[in-house]
Structure 1
Amino acid sequence: MTDRIPDMPRRLVAEALGTGFLVAAVVGSGIMAERLTDDVALQLLCNTLPTGAILVVLISTLGPISGAHFNPAVTLGFALRREIGGGPALAYAAAQIAGGCLGAVAAHLMFALPPLQASVTIRTGGAQWFAETVAAFGLMGVILAALPRPATVPWVVGLYITAAYWFTASTSFANPAVTIARALSDTFSGIRPADVPAFILAQCLGAALATAVFGWLLRRSG
């Protein structure tokens, strides 16, 4: 028997499902953190750990189906490497965004909040945009570096995001689909809709730069 690559509908459902659970973890843990403590540093820690943990789980379980991008910036990186075509890449991004938005709705419903909200949390400015560029650059870079050892990918991604929550000024959104979904949540993890486009531009720039730099860095000579 030979392994078959899953068909596109299953791949898209996996991308939507994975991004949905990721956003539900980000938003839901932020809501829980706000209800448990008034200490902002502790709230951030309570938001960080579930996010890193769910990434390990989702990439491990759904990776064999879709590749577990769960992130249009990561899909962009693989498109630049010509490992996914333009049409499938756009379909992936659409599935990721739709799944992420549904994940935010699910998180709200679990905590008896209005399903759709508009965040008022301001996240803007040069430092935040640079932080998102760095966050996405690092994320794409560690993915590419870990690819030759597939079993390590869930762990390096989960651990990287856990760390990047704390060393980036933006708390490392690093994902356009998650950014859009978080704009629909006026909770701890939200972002004002007006601030979303600049974040997405920075994330895509970071992923594209990492694709070029790590493509060169990891290229075998000879």
Structure 2
Amino acid sequence: MHQKLLAELVGTIMLLATVVGSGIMGETLAAGNAAVALWGNTAATGAILIVLILAFGPISGAHFNPAVTLVFLAKGEVSRQQAAAYIGVQIIGAVLGVVLAHAMFDQALIQTSLHIRTGTGQWISEAVATFGLLLAILGTLRARPDAVPYAVGLYITAGYWFTASTSFANPAVTIARSMTNTFSGIAPSDVWPFIAMQFIGAFIALFLFKALGKRNLAS
């Protein structure tokens, strides 16, 4: 269990260091071009997800995401104790990853984001983003388990661009990103609607996955 928690902690630290760090780097180099900054942020995030899942998947399952952990709890694949421990270290790891990114770029270690992300379109986007992420994970696990890292990395890469919210799709990430007033930040007041929609999207995906499984068995 200690190895699994360490894998979740380190993986989530590296995920957030990449999300926030690449956002800072992209914004710095893009000279005001938001599309270029977003592309840099996107490419780095998609790439690191593939690497982290390949590295830590055999140890902890590479959840790095409370929504993923709760879906696996609902499927009976992790215990309540393990789920609670995973979620705790995911949130801690996410915050530490933001601090690490700030340290690398010589910024104040803890900040409060002023980046407003609110409104119906943003909320729907977070439900859609998390719905698609969980479908990608569950579907690929069923059909091609070895392809999960690539499916997740590619889905999040796409999600940055086809959702209005740029696809946070992760409650721990959302909480931690409220602590950076940089390109990837989110205002603290906007965090909880995002998280609520992320959980809704995740469990709709689980419901659909189970329905599709029953259909396949029946046919």
Do the two structures share a fold, i.e. TM-score over 0.5? yes
Secondary structure in 2 aligned to 1:34? helix
Out of 7, 18, 27, the position equivalent to 1:34 is: 27
**Cα separation, 2, equivalents of 1:67 and 1:216:** 24
Deviation per CA, 1:67-107, whole angstroms, max 9, x where unpaired?
00000001111111111111211110011000000000000
Kept after mapping to 2: 8 A contact 1:122/1:191: yes
**Cα separation, 1, equivalents of 2:122 and 2:79:** 31
Pairwise mapping of residues 144-159 of structure 1 onto structure 2 (< 5 A)?
Answer: 144-148=138-142, 149-159=144-154
Identity of aligned residues (%): 56
1:14 maps to 2:34: no
Counterpart of 1:174, as a letter, is A
Kept after mapping to 2: 8 A contact 1:80/1:208: no
Map of 1:23 onto structure 2? 16
**Cα separation, 1, equivalents of 2:56 and 2:132:** 22
Map of 2:205 onto structure 1? 210
Secondary structure in 1 aligned to 2:166? coil
Secondary structure in 1 aligned to 2:217? coil
Out of 92, 95, 103, the position equivalent to 2:97 is: 103
Secondary structure in 2 aligned to 1:113? coil
Structure 1 stretches of 4+ with a deviation exceeding 3 A read none
**Cα separation, 2, equivalents of 1:42 and 1:122:** 20
Counterpart of 2:145, as a letter, is P
Give the TM-score taking structure 1 as reference length. Answer: 0.95
Aligned length: 215
Structure 1 residue 34: Cα displacement:
1.1
Map of 1:71 onto structure 2? 65
Structure 1 residue 221: Cα displacement:
1.1
Deviation per CA, 1:48-83, whole angstroms, max 9, x where unpaired?
000000000000000000000000001111111111
Map of 1:4 onto structure 2? none
> RMSD in angstroms over aligned alpha carbons?
0.8
1:54 maps to 2:62: no
Structure 1 residue 30: Cα displacement:
0.3
Which has the larger share of helix?
Answer: 2
Structure 1 residue runs of 5 or longer lacking an equivalent are 1-7
Map of 2:191 onto structure 1? 196
Secondary structure in 1 aligned to 2:28? helix
Give the TM-score taking structure 2 as reference length. Answer: 0.96
Kept after mapping to 2: 8 A contact 1:27/1:187: yes
Deviation per CA, 1:195-215, whole angstroms, max 9, x where unpaired?
111101100110011011112
Structure 1 residue 218: Cα displacement:
2.8
**Cα separation, 2, equivalents of 1:212 and 1:16:** 28
